[in-house]
Every structure is written in structure tokens, then in C-alpha cells.
Amino acid sequence: MSLHASIAVRRGTLDLELDVEVADGEVLAVLGPNGAGKSTLLRVLAGLLPPDAGSVVVDGATWDGDGTSLPPHSRSLGMVFQDALLFPHLSVADNVAFGLRTRGAGRAPARAVAADWLARVGLEGLGDRRPRELSGGQAQRAALARALVGEPALLLLDEPLSALDARTRLAVRAELRRHLAEFRGSTVLVTHDPVDAMALADRVVVVEDGRVVQAGPPQEIARRPRTDYVARLVGLALLPGTGRGTRVHLDDGGAVAVAEEASGPVFAAIRPESVALYVARPEGSPRNVWRATIAGATPHGATVRCDLTGEVPLVADVTATAFAELGLAVGAEVWATVKASEVAVYSR
């Protein structure tokens, strides 16, 4: 089971050109901002939208391309949408059994399989309920069972967690992770939340303006982002520059000292927790010391994330206690230091 898709879609302002490959049992996350064309990709893979050009091949069978386009109901796939979209007029069990019934299973066998799946997603005994009697998390679990019940070759997840509240999201994410590990087909997960991508995917492609701008394992994307969008998502300060020895001269002025020698066009990426803030110029000799102004401060649990402007734009995480003890505030002048060994450098 595998997916090979190479598609082009042009609709109004959207200009989408994507190549994606997903192996057996692999989970590919498509990460990108709203309007990047992620959901359009899923609609094409599902057969709900014919591509203007290109092909979709699953398990060696052509779904799109060569002048043919298989209708959605003839494709072996399951899809989970942002809202669970359980059919309101059917019981939860009949919702899960729907895909089996349309493919010719009898009522009793379909219900038995559905009951089994409901138990697997932790909804044992809720089969007779109406969808509106379920909580958001329960409904999304039922939707997952409904998509997986036919053992499809391809599973499409369209922002499956983004309609859930923070706590439910955590629980459903963990459960989704378990089911994806068991799933033998290919999975394409569309999301704009890097945490979903990191937690669920084996591989990530970042899509911006209809094009893949970066692809790789989740840790790689998180450690070495290539665009401002990804850097902001994962909370890094991304500084493009030119490496000369153990210094990177930034395109926007200033320089960063790094631990390893670098040459040519590179990115220097600095994590917020690597940045230390001082009210007075620190003693000793950290290699990177910059004067900065706090342009913004947002609390994040026990830490405060500070956006810094100055010679080098940075993001710093300070504990809430330190923030208060140092008397920091928006507009305050500070000194920011970063150890050279804490700066990640990679070629552009």
C-alpha cells in the first residue's frame, strides 16, 4: 500500500503544484498556513475535486491520470474532517457501519464490525446514541472509526484535532497516534499545528502558496526550519546570513558567533530557551551579546515569551518569576546573550 501523487490545481487565486509520496504504514503530515492548498490536496486525493493535471496512484492502481478519474466512492479511502460530520439522522453505530453497508455488507455483520470498532476507539456501549449526544472528542473518535472500518488503502485526515478544546485534543491526539501506528495503509494528515505534525507524523512536508518549501522528518523540520513560517510555528528565531569561519554575518546586519565553522549562505537558528536576558551588561565573555528592546511579551504557562528587536531579532523565553524579578516590561532595554554552542547553523 502506497500513495504516489503529483498534482496541479488552479482555482482562482490558488495555484497548487504538489508531489507527495507516502509508503505503507507511513504518516505524512502536510503542514502549512491557511489557504496554502492543503485541504485542496486532500479533496483531490479523495476524488472530490478533479486535478487540472497530474496523477494519483495508490497501490499501483491509477485513481487520477491517463485520462481517467475514479469517482470518490470507488476509491479505497477513509476521510476524517475537522468537524466530525457524523450523519445526524443515524445512530453512532450506523454511522460507523455506513461504509460497510454501502459496500454491500449485510446489516447484522456490518453492525457487529461497527461495534468492534467502537470498542477499539473507546466508545463501547455508545453505539445506540445519536451523534448530538456525543461530546466533541467522542464524535471525532467515532468519525475515525467510521473512516477506518473499511480498512482503506488511504486515510485522509483534514485538521482532525483543530475543532477540539485543548484537553480533549491531547487525549484524542494520543489515541489517534495509537491507531495510526496500527494502520497498515498510507496516511496523509493535513494540519496547521506543528504539534500535531510532530506527534503524529513520520515525515512532514511544509506547503506554502501551493508549493512544497521543505520536507523531512519532524525533528529535522523543528530543528532546522527553512522559512519564516515554519520558524515561527516552532518558535525559533531564523537568521539568514553568510558563514565566515565561526561567525555568521547576517543579511540584515550584525553577526552571530557559532561553535562550528560555516561558509557560504547559511541559516542560524536560535531557540527561545537559549536566550538569556540581563538588565545590565553581563560580566564574563559569552560570545554573543546584543542590546535589545522587548517589543512584545506573552505568557506561556510558567514562562513569558519575549519578542526582541534590536541589532538581531530574537525570541526569548524567560520564567515568569525572572520576568517579574528583573522588572521587565514591554519597551524595556535589555541585554540578550546566547552561547555560540546553542546556535544551530545549516546551509540554505
Partner 1 sequence: MPAPLLVPAAIGVLFLALPLVGLLVRTPWSQLATQLAAPGVGQALRLSLVSATLATLLSLLLGVPLAWVLARSRTRGRTVLRALVTVPLVLPPVVGGVALFLVLGRQGIVGSWLDDAFGITIPFTTTAVVIAETFVAMPFLVISVEGALRAADARFEDVAATLGAGRWTTFRRVTLPLVAPGIAAGAVLCWARALGEFGATITFAGNFPGTTQTMPLAVYLALQRDPDAAIVLSVLLLAVSLATLLLLRDRWLGRGGAA
Q: Please give the residue ranges that form the binding site for partner 1 (CB under 8 A).
A: 46-48, 71-75, 77-79, 81, 83, 85, 87-90, 98-99, 102-103, 132, 146-147, 150, 156
Exposed, middle or buried by CB within 10 Å (0-12, 13-18, 19+), for 54? middle
Closer to partner 1 by CB, 102 or 263: give it. Answer: 102
Closer to partner 1 by CB, 156 or 334: give it. Answer: 156
Nearest distance in Å: CB 74, partner 1: 8
Residue 47: phi, psi to the nearest 5? 85, 10
Closer to partner 1 by CB, 156 or 164: give it. Answer: 156
> Are the CB atoms for 188 and 30 separated by under 8 Å?
yes
Nearest distance in Å: CB 4, partner 1: 20
Q: Nearest to residue 158, comparing CAs of 264, 43, 11?
A: 43
> Are the CB atoms for 160 and 144 separated by under 8 Å?
yes
> Are the CB atoms for 220 and 60 separated by under 8 Å?
no
> Are the CB atoms for 215 and 52 separated by under 8 Å?
no
Closer to partner 1 by CB, 47 or 210: give it. Answer: 47
317: helix, coil or strand? strand
> What does the alpha-carbon distance between residue 26 and residue 23 come to, in Å, rounded to a whole number?
5
Residue with cell 467502537: 118
Closer to partner 1 by CB, 32 or 131: give it. Answer: 131
Nearest distance in Å: CB 124, partner 1: 22
Closer to partner 1 by CB, 145 or 266: give it. Answer: 145
User: Which one-letter DSSP state was computed for residue 224?
Assistant: S
Sign of the Cα torsion 316, 319, 320, 325 reads negative
Nearest distance in Å: CB 85, partner 1: 5
- Residues present in the chain in total: 348
